[in-house]
Amino acid sequence: MPIDLAAGSELAGHRIEAVIGRGGMGVVYLAQHLRLGRKVALKVLVPELAQDDLFRERFIRESQLAAALEHPNIIPIYDAGEVRRLPYISMRYEEGSDLSLWLRRDRTLSAEDTVAVLEQVASALDAAHQEGLVHRDVKPANVLTEERSGERRRVFLTDFGITKSLRREGDSLTRAGQLIGTIDYMAPEQITAQPVDGRTDVYSLGCIAYRCLTGTVPYPRDYEVAVMYAHLQETPPTVTAVRPELPGEVDKVVRKAMAKARDARFATCTEFVEALRPRLTGTTSESRKAIGRRPGRTAAARAGAPQTTPGAAGPSHRRRRAGWAGAAAAVLAVGAILTAIALSRGSPSPSRTATGGSTGSSPAGSATPSVGVSESVGPSTLIRLTWSPVTPLNPGIFGGPGPQAINRVIANGANALAVGYSAANGDNDVAVWTASSDGRDWTIEHTDGGSGPGNQGMAAVTRFGGQLIAVGSNDIGGDIDAAAWHSDDGRTWEPFASQLFGGLGEQQMRRVVSGEDGLVAVGFDGDDAAVWNFGGKTWGTSISDALGGPGVQEMWSIASHGRTQVAVGSDTANGDMDAAAWRWTKPTQWKRVSTKDLREPRNQLMKTVITYGTGFVAVGYDTSASGDRDAAVWTSEDGTGWSLVEDPTAFGGIGDQEMFGVVGIEGNSLVAVGRENVDGDTDAVIWISSDGRNWTKRTPPALAGPGDQEIKSVTWLDPHLIAVGYQKDPTGEQDAAVWVATVTTG
């Protein structure tokens, strides 16, 4: 059957008037809806796709679901169905243009126009997500711009024909090898056929933001396979490389929207735009600027498929779409490239792999597919870190009478916030430090809420529900009790009062993380591992047989990945100290991971765990045959099977090494921090890896020197790494310490 329907012919109660657009999925006609008596845009699926029964069924069903959406920035769907084996969608017809033609004409948009377009598209997408639908093809050609008089140009999101319902679990009608979406704006999980959700559309909206501000797609490549590889592996480009007049913080926001891992992106499209708005326009959502009407626009483009304009297509990569017939071959080509890269880096030993000890699919109930850590990192080129110590103008900020130490640092918006303790008043009191965005201008916040009798100290801090929550310990009367504090601004802190924090024996909270149902803190209670939960008002505890047992169990760190939480630490049940891991997946209790994956001769300890890519990375130490401590790294696909990474060139040597913290830099590199003690002198040390398997140890002069230095935590505050800990001068006086590194590649 020819694809073009003749003018005057009828289809499903529509009289065809003219062709107004063509795309990879179908043809869009201007038509008269005979029953409604109005002009509509009628999209008809191309015969090649219509012959695929599975695709045709999905197209019709999801279009009917999308027809239920009601939003001022969504083109309404009047009807969807099938006639003569031709699926169709009948939509409202809008005079005007689309964002792709606007960008072809002007190349870039102003900051105000960019924000105004994005906020309307974001609102439409979030409304669809609330109804359980993911668009999956967010691109400029599907953002229509209304032609009207006045000061505001309204935009509409269209083409919900390839939406995905999140409420039909396990009911995917996409054949293996089919790519759904448009390559230039496609999220990594679409390319690898992983589950999608609203954050998939956040990624595409980030690509649109980049296009609006720079005039080009994020990854302009000559071949589709190269574009797919870039979405999977390459660090997102920076806007300021093209538009240096824009603030550097714009890069951080756009790159977060385009993060490889869904969990690293903004939770909603509106959250992304609200973060971008003040960086671009200096305004907030309370003072929004409308899009100014641009004169001289034509009404040639209407709703539906991508438009074709003679002579305006530009370079081929700007009009690229995933070809349906060749999609499977393209995916196989990407797989071949990734396999070749993995092989070129060397294969792990049969007994210990870099991606974890288990293979196959995730356990039941896990929301995270079993994709290895090594598949989620970027190119093998190591980053370069140029370190310098921070010397505050007021030496009392990091020093003073008695010892001080910074235990944990996090990015708090555009700035940094660190917690620890200070003994300036004779005993240890809670101490909080705040810093500028470059990590060089610090202020100490002495807080009455953590300065009572006995010793208090903060071990970790996170942001939750508009507040900052810190956890640690409080030593009153000789017993160490768990403790937690809250703050609205990071300067004034108040302790939580809870009977759950004390009791017989000693308790301590060591780390805290935000999970699906609230905060989760981990540590120990007596000889058992302990978990505390906070839903926003009160604290509770988790009870599980897996948290106790013979010997001593302690949790040192926790990471959250969707519905899965993984905690790591140590266990002495077998006579020596073994690394230990626990796993929780909603709605089950905490379960102890098999010890055979973690048990080694002598002593091991996992100090910190993070999510990286789609897996987990933990760092700590492993004891060598000579009795020295060696730095150690473990990796896992889903938290159930763990593998100890063997890299004798980076882990080991004379003296002791120990890793305390690790951070991932935008899916491209891992940086671990800690200490090394040789001949009685302790220096701060860093380790760098581009793939999680191969590590390089470095001791820059800025991290060493007279006395002792130790890095306890590190965070990424683009474009800087901020490391914190303490240093002792040759007399033994201990002060808090901060080091900052600028990051380059090569």
Kindly list the catalytic residues: 137
Beta strands 26-33 and 14-22: pairing type?
antiparallel
Q: What SS3 state is found at 703?
A: helix
Sequence-ordered list of residues with C-beta below 8 angstroms from that of 58, at least 6 positions apart, any chain: 173, 174
Dist CA 185 CA 207 (whole Å): 6
DSSP annotation of 597 reads G
Asked if 111 and 281 touch (Cβ cutoff 8 Å), the reply is yes
Asked if 676 and 656 touch (Cβ cutoff 8 Å), the reply is yes
Sequence-ordered list of residues with C-beta below 8 angstroms from that of 43, at least 6 positions apart, any chain: 25, 26, 27, 28, 29, 88, 89, 91, 159, 161, 304, 305
Q: Which of 357, 351, 360, 372 is nearest to 594 (CA)?
A: 357
Q: What SS3 state is found at 10?
A: strand
Intra-chain end-to-end CA distance of the chain, in Å: 56
Sequence-ordered list of residues with C-beta below 8 angstroms from that of 159, at least 6 positions apart, any chain: 43, 137, 142, 304, 305
Tokens of 625: 């045959």
Dist CA 450 CA 576 (whole Å): 36
Largest CA distance in the chain: 94
Q: Which of 496, 493, 489 is nearest to 449 (CA)?
A: 493
Measured torsion, CA atoms of residues 275, 280, 286, 291, in degrees rounded to the nearest 10: -120
Sequence-ordered list of residues with C-beta below 8 angstroms from that of 553, at least 6 positions apart, any chain: 524, 527, 528, 529, 547, 569, 570, 571, 572, 573, 580
Tokens of 650: 């980076």
Please provide the size of the chain in residues. 746
Element housing 99 (H / E): helix 99-106
Return contacts of 347-353, CB within 8 angstroms, 24+ apart. Answer: 348/643, 348/693, 349/646, 352/643, 352/644, 352/645, 352/646, 353/643
Dist CA 501 CA 493 (whole Å): 17
Dist CA 295 CA 725 (whole Å): 58
165 strand-pairing partners: 133
DSSP annotation of 413 reads T
Q: Which of 506, 447, 498, 449 is nearest to 476 (CA)?
A: 506
Element housing 53 (H / E): helix 53-66
Measured torsion, CA atoms of residues 82, 88, 93, 95, in degrees rounded to the nearest 10: -160
Q: Which of 157, 158, 146, 159 is nearest to 291 (CA)?
A: 146
